[in-house]
Structure formats: C-alpha cells, structure tokens
Amino acid sequence: MSSPQFPESSPVTDTSSRKSQFTYRHLCQLASFAPSCPLRVVAHIDLDAFYAQCEMVRLGIPEDQPLAVQQWQNLIAVNYPARGFGVGRHCTITDAKKLCPNLVAQHVATWREGDDKWAYREDAAANVASDKVSLDPYRLQSRKILQLIKETLPSNLQRVEKASIDEVFCDLSAQVHSILLERFPELRSPPPHGDLTGRLPRPPVVALNWMADALVDLDEHAESQDPDWDDVAILIGSEIIRDVRGQIREELRYACSAGIANNKLLSKLGSAYKKPNQQTVIRSRAIQHFLSDFKITKIRNFGGKFGDNVTSTFGVDTVRELLPVTLDQMKLKLGDDTGTWVYNTIRGVDHSEVSSRTQIKSMLSAKSFRPAIHTVEQATRWLRIFAADISSRLGEENRRRPRTINLHYRHDGQMKSRQAPIAQGKALNEQLLFDLSRTLLNQILSEGNVWPCMNLSLSVGGFEDSVVGNMGIGGFLVKGEEAQALRSSAKDPGFPILPGRQAAKRRRLDGAGEGIHRFFIRHNTTNDHNASETEDNAKGLEDLVPGDPVTGLRNGNEEKNEADGASSESSECSRCGASFDWPQSLQSHQDWHLAKDLHDEERGQSRATIHPPASARSKGPSGPAPSSKRAGRGGKMEHGQRKLTFGGS
C-alpha cells in the first residue's frame, strides 16, 4: 500500500532512486578531462618542507634530525622535527638555535664572483654582498620528482601540471575513468537508447576502503546518502596518489602530502590540510563542510584587497558566514560577474584546467644590491655570474634556444631594460651570453646614468618551440630578487603590456623578422617588450610561497605596500606585519611577497579566463594594454596582462 503522505511515490521513483545522480555523459566527460565534469578527480601534491628534505637527502641526514635551510640570516625551510621545537620560517638563526640547540642549519648553495659554478660554502651567510643564491640543487630534485610522477602515471592518460618547485597538480580523470570501466563492467555498456542524459546505474553498495587517508567529514545532510560514482572516482584517485607518493618515497626518499578533490582549488587546500606525509580526500559531499571554516581571505583569489573588500562588504570573516548571502545580493554588491564568481567559489566550484604545458618561456638571473653598486667593474662581475647561471640552466633545456636577451637595471627608483636578439648559428654558451650582456650594459651606459644601481638582472626569452616535447620541465624558478626585478619591470612606464595572445603573435613575428632585428632595441621607447615573457617568468614562483592557498587578484593596496616595502627601513613588513631582526630578513620576506604576487597574478590571470570576476578585469579580454589609470588601484588585470604603476605610486 502506498503511503498517503507520498502519493507520488511509485515503483518508477523507486527505480530512479536506484540510479546514480550521474549520467552517461558525465562518464564520457571524465574520459576527456572535461573541467566541468562532476566526476572529475584532481590531485595536488606538495613536498613536505621541501628544501629541507633536499638537504637531508643530499647529506644523508637521519629523518628525525631537526634541520633548517638557511639563506643569509633567514630560515627558508624548516623540517618537521625542527618545527616540533617551535622553529619556524620567521625565526632568526639565533632564535632557532636557542629553541633547538641540536638544529642543523644548512646554508643554500651560492654563486660567487670568480667561480664558474655554484657551490655549498661554509662562509656563504657572511657574504651576501658577493654571493648569489643558487636554487639549482632544489630544481634538480624537483625535476626528478616530477619525472617520477609522470613515469608512475600511465603516459596516455595523464595530465600533470608543475605548479611550483615543490607542487604539481594531476588531473586523474582519464585514468580514473579507465579504472572505473575495468572494475565495474556495468559502466561499459552503452547508454540505453543511446541517451547520454540517461542516469548511470548506482555503484554497488560496498564499503569504500579509504586506507589511511584523511577524510574530510561529510556535509551534515549528506551523511546518510549512499556513495555514488563521485565517491568511487575520488577513492580511485586516492589510490593512484597513494601509489605515486609511495614511489616518490621509495625511489627518491621524499615525503609529500596530497589533496584529492574534484578541482584544483579544493585539492590545493587539501594538500595543506594534513601534513606531513598525508593525503586528504575531499569528497563532493564534504566540500561545504570543508570550506566553511576557512577564512575567506585564505581562499584562492581572495587574497589582498579583493578579499578584504568582500569581507568588509558583507561584514563577514569566514566562508560559513558568507554562505547565506544570496546570489542576487552578491550580484547587487559585487556586480554580476564577480558576484556569480564569488558565489560559486565559496561553494568550491572551480573549473580551471590542469595544464601539462610546462615548457618555460624565459629565464632570468638577478641580484638586488643593498647597498647599491656604483661601478662598471662591479656590474660586469655580476654579469659573469648571471651568464654562468643562465648558461647552466640553458643546458637543461635540451635543444631549445632563446632568441632574445635582456638586461634590466634599477636606478632612481625605476626598472629599465635593453634587449638584443641572440644571433642564431653561434654556440650559445656562457661567453656569448656574457658578451651580449656587456654590449647591452655599454648601450645603457652610453645613454644615461645607471649609478647607483639597485638591481641588475639578465634574462633570455623567446624560446623556440621544442621538438622534444616536455623535456624542459622544471628548469625554471624565479627567485625573490628576480621577482622583484620583474615586478619592477612591470612598473616601468616604458613597458607596454600586451594581452597574451597579441604577445604570442608578436613573439612569432619577432622570430620571423629576426633578420632585420639587427639593432639593440630600446624597450622603454620602442614598446617592444614581450609581455608573455614576464608572465612565463612568474611560473614557478610558488617556490617562494608558503603552503597557504594560492590567493590572488592583485590590487592597488598591495601595489602600494610593495612599493613602500621596497624602500622601507623598518623591521616590520608593511604588508603582513611580520617583524624581523635583520634588514636582510625583511628584504627576503618582502621578496617573497613580491614573488607570491607575481605568481598569484599569473594564476589569477589564467583563472580569469574561466571565471572572470568583473572587478578583476579592467577591460575586455583582448583589449589593448591598460593605462595606469585603467589598471590602477583596485583594478585587476586581464589575462596576459601585467599591472603598470607609474612613478612613486
């Protein structure tokens, strides 16, 4: 007898309740990595205390030995045993030793004038003026790990994106799809009547074995629901990642943590959720529960002023508090696009793709001078080091060859640059790079005053496309000071910023017309800067970013603070309030902010193509270079664009 309370309840309804909520179309989408597929499985892998682990592996140090990696007087990585003593990244070396007398503090390798190779040096910490940090050892390990991940996953079903020196995203969808079909033959049959919108049969009700995964609790209303295919898919993803992590541990002796979810936003939050050496699974039915407790400003793209605006507009702090705000209210306060985007993001919706395009587009070697340098001799010595640095990294790029070389310098508060083509046909070695850089320096000197010079950087760009696929992965990192150079370059009013596509076109044209590029180009007058070069430089910046979520759309406030910070004498970071005993520590910390900004900016841009909040765009996606006004305070950048600020702003 049917219940009078539920007259519509019928055998038909019963049948449909045995159906999955997912359709045959969703299953197809899974095979093709469709970013909007609700069954999608994305993992984020992040190495634990990465530089510290590199040093431990290199030196054969036992796992329980507290160790920190030192850069001048700062700690840039602290292993977990040392963290147990309260040692953290912002400790001075002296404080750290007080907290943990047994601490091993290993200084990073450095380049030193006169040497043609970086080395680990006993006296590096005392030689900040003559040495330049080399992160080559960590890049090398990073590459090995990435390579192993790629070897562990089936070559035809993988999509792996290097997100920073110690992070990768893996879109596991296609592999999960193939395992699903293997394990559940019922999924192999075509949809009844060829109807892709038909619902899949439900998965057999078996207890899912999550092994040692950290499972984020389910949303309250979802606890009683039986598992559906999204749970099974993510479980398979989790098995895959457990295997990958096991391989990394076994073969290379590195521990890492991972997050597994249905998109990048959530998987990245997941990998930081439980550390070290753990993996966290965020099932779709747990997303709300997982996100609710996060502060809004910790969510990707909600950093800086944008996040502040959102929190102050609605008088809220956490995601939980923002959830009751309706879509209409959001649109009303933030505009249609931004409102919709915020509404979705705090609900864990993120359709950004995992992109396996990892080839670098440029390389940059830089040094900030405090105090400034004043002579050609000093500058030339640094050019030697830059040439050696870039040349050694170029060696890892297989047959790819850059077409242009740039010398950037900072004088009188402004970053400027000159560019020259790199003639093809000649062996591209350290000497050629050095000679070209000296020619550029002479050009600059003949045109005006350079001294005192606060920053000097050499970059090569416009790489020819490779014929060897993804061989060049991972050979790139922008250091804090390099990031500063880039950031400053972006501020140079002489650098027009082209939207990505135009820049790409220009790059092709530049290549084609190389024969007539006989003369050195004055960037700040010829408007010929290749914007995509700086964008690509921002890749790998997360190397300098702490484990907190990628945040990001840039804003005027950050820009200002950053400018303040660069010239600040105080020992407090004007952006986050962290205080430092050493000016070098503050500088390095501020470099980190810069690096993070650059990275976030790039991330924000690539995301903006998918979810463009209106306020994040100063103009249409293919509009021309923004003027300082259009991209000014509070304005956000377009895809492929970099914000410009002028003068002392």
List of residues contacting ligand TTP (CB under 6 A): 46-51, 76-77, 166, 275-276, 543-547, 592
| CB proximity list for 69: less than 8 A, separation 6 or greater | 51, 52, 54, 55, 75, 76, 77, 78, 105, 106, 107, 108
Q: Please, which residue, 39 or 170, has the CB nearer to Ca ion?
A: 170
Residues forming beta bridges with residue 601, ordered by sequence position: none
Residues forming beta bridges with residue 47, ordered by sequence position: 256
* 592: partner contacted, choices Ca ion, ligand TTP, none (Cβ within 5-8 A by kind): ligand TTP
* 544: partner contacted, choices ligand TTP, Ca ion, none (Cβ within 5-8 A by kind): ligand TTP
Spell out the alpha helix ranges (H) of 248-335: 264-273, 287-292, 304-314, 319-322, 327-334
* 275: partner contacted, choices ligand TTP, Ca ion, none (Cβ within 5-8 A by kind): ligand TTP
Residues 333-346 as b or e (16 or more Cβ within 10 Å = b): ebeebbbbbbbebb
- Please choose, from the candidates 364, 350, 346, 332, the residue with its C-alpha nearest in 3D space to the C-alpha of residue 458: 364
* 269: partner contacted, choices Ca ion, ligand TTP, none (Cβ within 5-8 A by kind): none
- What's at 603, amino acid-wise? R
- In whole angstroms, the minimum distance from the beta carbon of 479 to ligand TTP comes to 8
- In whole angstroms, the minimum distance from the beta carbon of 345 to ligand TTP comes to 22
Strand pairing class (453-461; 362-373): antiparallel
- In whole angstroms, the minimum distance from the beta carbon of 542 to Ca ion comes to 6
- In whole angstroms, the minimum distance from the beta carbon of 168 to ligand TTP comes to 12
Q: Please, which residue, 167 or 482, has the CB nearer to Ca ion?
A: 167
Q: Please, which residue, 356 or 588, has the CB nearer to ligand TTP?
A: 588
CA distances to 72, 119, 146, 409, 479 from 109, in Å: 11, 5, 22, 24, 13
Site for Ca ion contains 543 (CB under 5 A)? no
Q: Please, which residue, 165 or 179, has the CB nearer to ligand TTP?
A: 165
Site for Ca ion contains 50 (CB under 5 A)? yes
- In whole angstroms, the minimum distance from the beta carbon of 131 to ligand TTP comes to 16
- In whole angstroms, the minimum distance from the beta carbon of 365 to Ca ion comes to 22
Spell out the alpha helix ranges (H) of 9-75: 11-17, 24-31, 50-59
- In whole angstroms, the minimum distance from the beta carbon of 3 to ligand TTP comes to 54
Interaction residues for Ca ion, span 213-252 (CB under 5 A): none
What angle separates helix 583-608 from helix 556-567, to the nearest 10 degrees? 160
- In whole angstroms, the minimum distance from the beta carbon of 76 to ligand TTP comes to 4
Q: Please, which residue, 68 or 330, has the CB nearer to ligand TTP?
A: 68
* 354: partner contacted, choices Ca ion, ligand TTP, none (Cβ within 5-8 A by kind): none
Site for Ca ion contains 166 (CB under 5 A)? yes
Judged by CB under 5 A, the stretch of 112-120, 163-171, 303-311, 334-342 that binds Ca ion is 163-171
Q: Name the residue with tokens 């850089």.
A: 437
* 76: partner contacted, choices ligand TTP, Ca ion, none (Cβ within 5-8 A by kind): ligand TTP
- In whole angstroms, the minimum distance from the beta carbon of 505 to ligand TTP comes to 34
Residue nearest to ligand TTP (CB): 77
* 558: partner contacted, choices Ca ion, ligand TTP, none (Cβ within 5-8 A by kind): none
Q: Which two tokens stand for residue 23?
A: 């359709």
* 363: partner contacted, choices Ca ion, ligand TTP, none (Cβ within 5-8 A by kind): none
Q: Please, which residue, 440 or 538, has the CB nearer to Ca ion?
A: 538
Helix (H) or strand (E) run with residue 64 in it: none
Q: Please, which residue, 547 or 623, has the CB nearer to ligand TTP?
A: 547
List 46, 136, 482, 558, residue binding Ca ion (CB under 5 A): 46
- What's at 15, amino acid-wise? T
Residues 385-422 as b or e (16 or more Cβ within 10 Å = b): bbbbbbbbbbebbeebebbbbbbbbbbeebbbbbbbbb
Site for Ca ion contains 167 (CB under 5 A)? yes
- In whole angstroms, the minimum distance from the beta carbon of 298 to ligand TTP comes to 14
* 486: partner contacted, choices ligand TTP, Ca ion, none (Cβ within 5-8 A by kind): none
Q: Please, which residue, 68 or 460, has the CB nearer to ligand TTP?
A: 68
| CB proximity list for 12: less than 8 A, separation 6 or greater | none
Residues forming beta bridges with residue 67, ordered by sequence position: 104
Q: What angle do CA 97, 100, 103 make, to 5 degrees?
A: 75
Q: Please, which residue, 33 or 169, has the CB nearer to ligand TTP?
A: 169
Q: In Å, how far from its chain's centre is CA 148?
A: 20
Q: Please, which residue, 172 or 544, has the CB nearer to ligand TTP?
A: 544
Site for Ca ion contains 80 (CB under 5 A)? no
Q: Please, which residue, 75 or 286, has the CB nearer to ligand TTP?
A: 75
- In whole angstroms, the minimum distance from the beta carbon of 278 to ligand TTP comes to 11
Q: Please, which residue, 166 or 350, has the CB nearer to ligand TTP?
A: 166
Left, alpha or beta for 296 (phi > 0: left; psi -120 to 50: alpha)?
Answer: alpha
Q: DSSP assignment of 518-538, as one string?
A: -S-EEHHHH----HHHHHHHT
Q: Please, which residue, 179 or 545, has the CB nearer to ligand TTP?
A: 545
Q: Which two tokens stand for residue 390?
A: 């870039």
* 543: partner contacted, choices Ca ion, ligand TTP, none (Cβ within 5-8 A by kind): ligand TTP
Q: Which two tokens stand for residue 321?
A: 């508090």
Check whether the bond before 421 is cis (ω within 30° of 0). no
* 77: partner contacted, choices ligand TTP, Ca ion, none (Cβ within 5-8 A by kind): ligand TTP
**CB of 462 within 8 A of CB of 511?**
yes
Q: Which two tokens stand for residue 429?
A: 């070695």
- In whole angstroms, the minimum distance from the beta carbon of 212 to ligand TTP comes to 18
Q: How many CB atoms lie within 10 A of CB 108?
A: 25
Residues that contact Ca ion, how many (by CB under 5 A): 5
- In whole angstroms, the minimum distance from the beta carbon of 583 to ligand TTP comes to 16
- Judged by the rule CB under 5 A, the positions of this chain that interact with Ca ion are 46-47, 50, 166-167
